[in-house]
């Protein structure tokens, strides 16, 4: 309904109101970083002859992230090192509130400076850049959108049409279903096992690990669905962030399907520059993989468990490219058994990493690994009840069936009029059932897992 010239101003204003609804003071942080990146990209990097200005720009972006997210982490580890050296130092933690979504909009700003330094034209319009940086669907938890993905859409004339509203509504409903019906109902069972003081048996630890693998997938892909769907309501198309990650046949394939915008960010702005800098020593590539994934883990949180999770995936990716390359090679379509074995091994390895990701400390993670590997308690649960184990098992089986049947059904749908008729009649029933389930399970608001990052 607004005049076309006013629409971008309205979206920028609405995005800042959205962010201010959490804590209005941090709007100035978002605005300050946005103004710096726009001006620095337009007037410094666009004419820079060396990489030194880019390094300065990256460091300024990282300064805000390090201060708010890692100050207490650095202080605690410095105190631990002082203890090892025999120096008694007990600093008090700094009273710092972590700004919502700072990891995401900081990485987006770094990517923008990188792209401009690599030759992309910077935004000339400040309004266009502020919309690119703050558009609310992706502001808090991604997807991490990049310059080449958004500038044509921001600068183009857009109008709301039925296909955008229809697809946007479907994605929002799918996201709400994943979050409210699946992720939020799995979360209490996972918490019971990972809470401090719990003494789980092997069946508890295994079920909670599987449950967290499902919870974080449904939770984060739900946010991505809602973000992508909301953007479609305004004519914007965000990149996909998930593509059935637990159907991956290798660690590399997993990262090509899981949080895909972050995976591409790590590849393009960390791993590729490091390997290029040491291109005459290709044997160092596994080391750069480890370092890049360790940084990815640290980006998720200021805890050693996250760093170890990143290192674990770095080890898996390095193995994928070296001694395990033949095992994880992409299977042919007729190699069904090979594909099943590869997927099973990949899921087990990924779930082992989720223990590190979910554990509250390295000690708890080690205890969980020990509990599972020693089969403590056998099949007797000490924390969870049978219904919790059954529910998580049934959801895992349902997800396995869905991801296994999607391609055969897609081929059947293309060749069969009966299948197309069935889908046409059953789709509205499915949407109605999902909507009813969302209403029934909408009892207590729970934050998205990735809001803490």
Which residues are catalytic, by number? 300
Range 76-112 burial, b when 16+ CB lie within 10 A, else e: eeeeeeeeeeeeeeeeeeeeeebbbbbbbbbbbbbbb
CA 184 – CA 186 distance, rounded (Å): 6
CB 291 within 8 A of CB 314: yes
**Residue 386 main-chain phi, psi, to 5 deg:** -60, -35
**H helical segments located in 322-447:** 336-358, 362-373, 386-415, 417-441
Sequence-ordered list of residues with C-beta below 8 angstroms from that of 143, at least 6 positions apart, any chain: 224, 227, 228, 238, 239, 240, 241, 260, 261
Among 100, 168, 105, 103, CA closest to 134? 105
From residue 137, alpha-carbon distances to 134, 172, 234, 438 in Å are 9, 11, 10, 20
CA 328 – CA 363 distance, rounded (Å): 31
Sequence-ordered list of residues with C-beta below 8 angstroms from that of 289, at least 6 positions apart, any chain: 271, 314, 317, 318, 321
Phi-psi region of 75 (alpha: psi -120 to 50; beta: other; left: phi over 0): alpha
CA 189 – CA 173 distance, rounded (Å): 24
Q: From the CB of residue 370, how many other CB atoms can be counted at a distance below 10 Å?
A: 12
CA 185 – CA 387 distance, rounded (Å): 13
């Amino acid at each position: 309904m607004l005049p076309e010239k006013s629409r971008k101003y309205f979206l920028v204003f609405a995005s800042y109101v959205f962010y201010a609804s959490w804590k209005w003071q941090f709007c100035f942080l978002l605005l300050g970083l946005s103004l710096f990146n726009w001006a620095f990209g337009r007037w410094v990097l666009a004419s820079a002859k060396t990489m030194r200005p880019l390094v300065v720009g990256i460091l300024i972006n990282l300064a805000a992230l390090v201060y708010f997210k890692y100050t207490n982490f650095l202080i605690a580890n410095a105190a631990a090192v002082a203890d090892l050296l025999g120096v008694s130092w007990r600093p008090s933690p700094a009273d710092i509130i972590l700004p919502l979504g700072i990891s995401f909009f900081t990485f987006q700003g770094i990517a923008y400076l990188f792209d401009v330094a690599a030759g992309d034209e910077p935004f000339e319009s400040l309004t266009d850049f502020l919309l690119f940086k703050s558009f609310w669907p992706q502001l808090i938890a991604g997807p991490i959108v990049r310059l080449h993905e958004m500038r044509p859409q921001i600068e183009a004339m857009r109008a709301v049409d039925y296909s955008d509203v229809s697809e946007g509504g479907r994605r929002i409903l799918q996201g709400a279903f994943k979050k409210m019906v699946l992720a939020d109902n799995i979360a209490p069972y996972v918490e019971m096992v990972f809470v401090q003081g719990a003494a789980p048996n092997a069946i508890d630890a295994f079920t909670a690990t599987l449950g967290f693998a499902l919870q974080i997938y449904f939770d984060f892909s739900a946010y991505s669905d809602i973000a992508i769907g909301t953007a479609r309501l305004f004519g914007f198309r965000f990149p996909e962030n998930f593509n059935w990650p637990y159907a991956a046949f290798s660690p590399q394939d997993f990262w090509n399907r899981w949080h895909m915008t972050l995976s591409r960010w790590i590849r393009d702005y960390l791993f590729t520059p490091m390997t290029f800098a040491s291109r005459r020593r290709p044997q160092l590539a596994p080391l750069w993989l480890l370092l890049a994934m360790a940084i990815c883990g640290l980006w998720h949180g200021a805890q050693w468990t996250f760093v170890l999770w990143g290192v674990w995936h770095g080890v898996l990716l390095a193995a994928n490219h070296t001694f395990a390359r033949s095992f994880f090679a992409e299977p042919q379509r007729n190699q069904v058994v090979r594909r099943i074995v590869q997927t099973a091994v990949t899921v087990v390895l990924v779930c082992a990493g989720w223990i590190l990701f979910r554990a509250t400390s390295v000690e708890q993670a080690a205890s969980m690994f020990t509990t599972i590997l020693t089969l403590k308690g056998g099949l007797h649960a000490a924390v969870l009840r049978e219904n919790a184990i059954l529910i998580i098992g049934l959801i895992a089986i349902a997800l396995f069936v869905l991801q296994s049947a999607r391609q055969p059904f897609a081929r059947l749908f293309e060749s069969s009029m009966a299948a197309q008729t069935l889908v046409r009649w059953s789709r509205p029933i499915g949407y109605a059932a999902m909507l009813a389930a969302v209403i029934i399970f909408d009892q207590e608001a729970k934050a998205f897992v990735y809001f803490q990052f």
